[in-house]
Structure 1
């Protein structure tokens, strides 16, 4: 069971019950009432926003990079596709992508290791594991991405967890005097000096968990779309241009 489902289907169901308990009615104050009720039952998962949707009585609830929907009376929770049949647009997917991208940008580039393309036209954010085979394959193509005008921004996601060899390698890369060289050496399977310092590796992992990341590499495009797995540079450039 993913963390996203746990928050969405269990905790928000509790929030819905709380809304019923306070006796909300369909009114202009529904969003404010929903936020207050959610804050009571989810003290550690404060909603980023609660806002109306094009569907009367349905509200979009964001918790960081996660998006769910709740009826104004607090009775029903919707966690899935919402498609406008006139435009064929998946409103839920669009909202999810936007929330994901806001969460990425809130992390800040100063908390990432960035391999910047000289003439960058696009950028991707990649959750990576030093010891992941396809993560290493992606990094071996980092110059290829640069040639396609794609900058690569790394966030660490050691799948083995905190205080494991992969986690310690990620910390050592972050704390290295030359992060780029250390990243490349580690990705090539070479030993790098073990170092510790104040680092964002655990925060990277927490963000990845909120996004439901389960495998690496996990690529986040500029619009917040999640692309799992390795995509070779020319193909990724085509995707970004679409």
Structure 2
């Protein structure tokens, strides 16, 4: 019995020692990676975080919301998607999605055009360019969804007259009516006369911070982000899933601006 207890204690001590050793090695690796990358790549932006990946000897180097990878010494730096072949998923994409998740409660809704169908009990946010064909198709499908409030953030990223159209829509007497008339019926927004303050620059800055790189970009109340247009049936399914997943006190730490 005593030999069994000794053996068990010895195994526990060995496991603790191994854990401490591995932890120390990870810290040493992180220090080496930071030191070598900073010294050898002086133009590299500040490194926010260095963490181990599931791949032995490969470390994730996070710079803001950008992800690159390094060996354990910082001698090699590489960029791309880390793919889990068993699940056929991109670990890189999953990590970036987590970093750039948006807490719906923290959206600057004062900078959005608002319209609703029915009770408006369910909510959705959309970043859209007035000249985006996919945004127009998405807007058509949204009309089929009941009891929804839609917050549209104007995001003129397509060039041409997108910035002017966005300004004209925002500065109109009835923003929602003007927006829907243009997106659904092609009625050109009246040109704004005089000065009018818009949130467009703030929207663009928000999109850069959270890596919203295209339109439409759809945000649901549980933080789920969908890039690109989806149909009415998919919208309905995601609204139901998001409502089930949303819990009081949801918080998201904004990504570093570095």
TM-score by length of 1: 0.62
Q: How many angstroms apart in 2 are the aligned matches of 1:129 and 1:108?
A: 18
How far off its partner does 1:54 sit? 4.4
Query: Which of 141, 161, 170 matches 1:174?
Result: 170
User: Over residues 184-239 of structure 1, what are the superposed CA-to-partner deviations in whole Å (9 max), with x where a residue is unaligned?
Assistant: 2332323324154333324434555673735x3343455444332x3222222224
Mapping of residues 89-238 of structure 1, within 5 Å: 90-102=90-102, 108-115=108-115, 118-121=119-122, 123=124, 125-145=125-145, 147=146, 150-161=148-159, 164-187=160-183, 188=185, 189-194=187-192, 196-205=195-204, 208=207, 211=211, 213-214=213-214, 216-221=215-220, 222-228=222-228, 230-238=229-237
Structure 1 gap segments, 5+ residues each: 1-25
Structure 2 gap segments, 5+ residues each: 1-24, 242-258
How far off its partner does 1:168 sit? 0.7
The answer to whether the 8 Å contact 1:169/1:186 transfers is no
The answer to whether the 8 Å contact 2:141/2:232 transfers is yes
* CA RMSD, Structure 1 to Structure 2 (Å): 4.0
The structure-2 alpha-carbon separation of the partners of 1:99 and 1:200, relative to structure 1 and needing over 3 Å to count, comes to farther
User: Over residues 2-35 of structure 1, what are the superposed CA-to-partner deviations in whole Å (9 max), with x where a residue is unaligned?
Assistant: xxxxxxxxxxxxxxxxxxxxxxxx6526279739
> If you compute each CA radius of gyration, which structure gives the higher value, 1 or 2?
2
Q: How many angstroms apart in 2 are the aligned matches of 1:115 and 1:71?
A: 50
The answer to whether the 8 Å contact 1:134/1:217 transfers is yes
Equivalent residue, structure 2, for 1:41: 43
> SS at 1:144's partner residue?
coil
Q: How many angstroms apart in 2 are the aligned matches of 1:220 and 1:79?
A: 25
How far off its partner does 1:58 sit? 1.0
The answer to whether the 8 Å contact 1:59/1:69 transfers is yes
The answer to whether the 8 Å contact 1:169/1:194 transfers is no
Equivalent residue, structure 1, for 2:80: 79
Number of corresponding residues? 206
Equivalent residue, structure 2, for 1:20: none
The structure-2 alpha-carbon separation of the partners of 1:166 and 1:63, relative to structure 1 and needing over 3 Å to count, comes to same
The structure-2 alpha-carbon separation of the partners of 1:191 and 1:110, relative to structure 1 and needing over 3 Å to count, comes to closer
Q: How many angstroms apart in 2 are the aligned matches of 1:41 and 1:94?
A: 27
TM-score by length of 2: 0.59
The structure-2 alpha-carbon separation of the partners of 1:105 and 1:121, relative to structure 1 and needing over 3 Å to count, comes to closer
Q: How many angstroms apart in 2 are the aligned matches of 1:165 and 1:140?
A: 22
Q: How many angstroms apart in 2 are the aligned matches of 1:218 and 1:174?
A: 19
